[in-house]
Chain A
Amino acid sequence: MTAIPDTPSRPSSILEADARTRKRNAAEKRFRMYGLGAIFVGLTALVLLLTSILMQGLPAFQQSYVTLEVPLLEDTLDPSGERNIDDIAGVISFGYNGLIEQAVEDAIETQGIEIEGLDDPAEIVSNQAAAQVRRFVLANPERIGTSETFRFLTTSRVDQYYKGQVTMASAERDSQISPQQLQLAEALAEAGLLEQSFNWNFVTQPDASDQRPEAAGLGVAILGSAYMMLIVLCLALPIGVAASIYLEEFAPTNRITDIIEVNISNLAAVPSIVFGILGLAIFINFAGLPQSAPIVGGLVLTLMTLPTIIISTRASLKSVPPSIRDAALGVGASKMQAVFHHVLPLAGPGILTGTIIGLAQALGETAPLLLIGMVAFVTEYPDAPPEGFFDPATALPVQVYNWTQRADPAFAERASGAIIVLLVFLAIMNITAILLRRRFERRW
């Protein structure tokens, strides 16, 4: 072995990096860090997005209620005293406001609450209360003259006070609530008459008007979305599978096939709002279908989802090895029989997964639904299908948009709450798809 030649331009030792190598290695490290940093930024954005929505939306599932004893005075509700249901129905909700005021004052008296400068104590109860009592009276006219215990929603301001969005200082400047009214709410809470509890109504009740954010719910929106998903499933799945079978198994290589393929890949990238314009122009203006109806939304979303389903179905048909087809043909099956009896069942799990993912996409889609009138203010549940497909309804994501456009800040919390409901549905669908894939995935 000869000694290592001592050349000044070379490093004296291979164990010690020279300046240039150190620089190159540093560059290597930096580059790696950029990559890690990018992933970190992406994941941080995801976490930030989800936590901020959760923080803002979770309070929507809690709501403040106040329990009051309401005197059902005969001379307000049924002056004639004949218990004639038409006469009782003649008293509109407005007529019941006096009873609510009475009930609040009674509660103040029996609890011995004294607050200086308290005006309009009944303002802490939701505007919904009068209608609630009226509904009860119309259902049980024999109770007139007695007094009855009700559990009312409080107004959104009192509710928001308990959620930290309204403070004594902000109430000072607010025309809809005064600090004295908040003190009253506190006093009632101490007496056990005002409490927070889980808000099922948020998920089941229909939307409410601008003045009653505390009563607004997602019932109609969830039902509308469910109807649309049903339509999408019933139309997009068979049509998409049929189209994929044709393209993957039967299509000759010619002009028409080419045009269809190019069309499908382009449709997958057309902005969703363009589908809304299509729905408005064709289904509503031309075919005369009703606005805001789930049928129109379902048709538009079907057209949007078709490319997704076709692309994933074709991929799963393609993954079935040709030997399966050859074997079927070899024992005398026709081509159609080979496809329908052997290839399609084997591709089934893949098709199902693709369909669920397509449906999840359709469920979150908002823009096209805005154009076909799903933004309408709907407070009545649509009927059962098939007639219900033509009744006005809204959809979950559109309801979110709708609430962001309202003036009252309490609706922002509702919008975030609605997003949580939407994300829960999406998560369930996607997890189902992943589990299906894991369970049935087959490597050939």
Chain B
Amino acid sequence: MSVFWILVILVGLAIVGFALGRRRAIGSAGGDPKTLHSRPNYYGVGVALAALIPSLALLAIWLFVQPLYIDAQVATQIADAAIPEGSTRGLMMGDIERLAAGFDQLESRGLMTPEEIAALGPDDDIRGRLGEVGLALGSNVSAETLDAARTFRSLSATGGILMTVAVLLAGAAGFAINLARVHHSKRARNQVESVILALLLAAACIAILTTAGIVLSMLFESINFFRQYPITEFFFGLQWAPNFRGNSDLGIIPLLWGTLYISLIALLVAVPIGLFSAIYLSEYAGRRMRAIAKPLIEVLAGIPTIVYGLFALLVVGPMLRDYFAQPLGLGNSGSSVMTAGLVMGIMLIPFVSSLSDDIISAVPQSMRDGSLGLGATKAETIRQVVVPAALPGIVGAILLAASRAIGETMIVVLGAGAAARLSLNPFEAMTTVTVKIVSQLTGDTNFASPETLVAFALGLTLFVITLGLNVFALFIVRRYREQYD
């Protein structure tokens, strides 16, 4: 039975449980809900939750563990000698799983009966039959693979039946036990509420799980990478030249240089524009101007980065090349540090401006009044009183923007180019950490080679840098906010 139908049955059970639990509670109170401890619905919800939660938990665990168990069982069945030259156990397991999935397809579409599949030998045209269901096998099937695929299928089938039985039993048991305990003096509301509180806590913990998942997944693969590639060469190597036949140079320095150079240009664009717009909007602009200009600038933050990337690729890149780089003899590439930096700068304007706006608005009015009262002009007040008072917060905003710039992907993928280079010329194509993560991980990849695994080490580096910047920025902003609260 498919998972979908198990879920349908469980939900049905829960609905029946709700109705029965409610009715039983009212019955045990002699038809008068006033003598119940809780309102009748809570008894019903209690039964429904008892039918759902243990069974769903079991289902989730089972779905997670069963493939691991079956893989381990089947893998032990393959003798070392049976693994062909140039292949690995992992690759063979992939073949076996594909073969088993193909048999399932053939059977479910009615192209072959189970008896016919059982009678297939290694000499039959299995590849051809699987081709009918759109499954391409790399090589013809050996006797061992076929055997293993059969074991795989029978284990999966047994596992599926066991799972159905166990999950439905768990649901029924929870249902029956809770229903039997329904009594007018039962503290149903308190029990239901504590279950709901636990669920709320579990939802909140998903954030922790996500962070843990990010860190662990990247850490393990990075450790794998550093087993194959020396850590010092990764962090201090000046060459980036991956080569899928091996012997690659995987130094991060050129990538970091590109990342920082582009981010610097982006900040040089975004910080003055963002800061001055924030100052104007919060100090000078009238109500109407503010109501129009502020949302319009914030539209820039809502535009997806792929749009900026396309803008860089189709408009800014060719324009810079034709009007600046080529006439000045600085290069003839459309994608360049300047292209990516300028466009990224535009993207960052709203980040700088809206955060700075908040922070400038939070500077107490009394400070402005004091300065104006002494005869300072508005500009002098802003320059000598408001901005210095808001400075820590503005620095925090700039750091947050910098962290955005460093982690930005699509603009640099489309605008900056793919050549890893250590150069000062801003009209030359350079590349960044994020571009290389994309290029090493897209397409057909082999997760055992350092050329692929390096992406995880790059990701970890990126994560650590941006996390550091964020934590530092939030720390500054928070400390500043406390100052005037």
Contacts and interface: CB of A to CB of B under 8 A. Distances in A.
Contacts of B1: none
Given A25-B377, A45-B349, A371-B438, A303 B462 contact: no
A366 B310 CA distance: 12
A412 interface: yes
29 contacts: A28-B377, A31-B383, A32-B280, A35-B277, A45-B346, A45-B349, A49-B307, A49-B308, A56-B314, A239-B206, A240-B203, A242-B200, A250-B197, A260-B204, A269-B400, A271-B409, A271-B463, A272-B409, A277-B441, A280-B441, A306-B210, A307-B207, A360-B302, A364-B307, A367-B434, A367-B438, A386-B4, A404-B313, A430-B302
A52 B203 CA distance: 43
B410 A42 contact: no
Interface in B302-316: 302-311, 313-315
Interface in A356-402: 360-361, 363-367, 370-371, 373, 375, 386, 397, 400-401
A263 interface: yes
A112 B228 CA distance: 72
B280 A39 contact: yes
B297 A24 contact: no
B382 interface: yes
Interface stretch (B20-28, B212-220, B366-374): B212-220
B346 A49 contact: yes
B455 interface: yes
A126 to B, nearest CB: 24
Residue with the greatest number of chain A CB neighbours at <10 A, chosen from B197, B210, B293, B353: B210
A40 to B, nearest CB: 9
Given A32-B284, A278-B210, A366-B304, A271 B217 contact: no
B173 interface: no
Contact of A24 (B196, B310, B380, B403): B380
A104 B278 CA distance: 63
Interface of A: 24-25, 27-28, 30-32, 34-39, 41-43, 45-46, 48-49, 52-53, 56, 238-240, 242-243, 245-247, 250-251, 259-260, 263-267, 269-278, 280-282, 285-288, 303, 306-307, 310, 334, 336, 360-361, 363-367, 370-371, 373, 375, 386, 397, 400-401, 404, 412, 415-416, 419, 422-423, 426, 430
Most buried by B among A264, A274, A375: A274
Contacts of A32: 280, 284, 379
Given A39-B276, A49-B346, A271-B407, 9 more contacts: A41-B273, A45-B300, A49-B311, A246-B203, A260-B208, A266-B471, A278-B214, A282-B213, A364-B306
Interface of B: 4, 64, 67, 189, 193, 196-197, 199-201, 203-208, 210-211, 213-214, 217-218, 220-221, 272-277, 279-281, 283-284, 293, 296-297, 299-300, 302-311, 313-315, 346, 349-350, 353, 377-380, 382-383, 400, 403-404, 406-410, 413-414, 434, 437-438, 441-442, 447, 455-456, 459, 462-463, 466-467, 470-471, 474
B204 A247 contact: yes
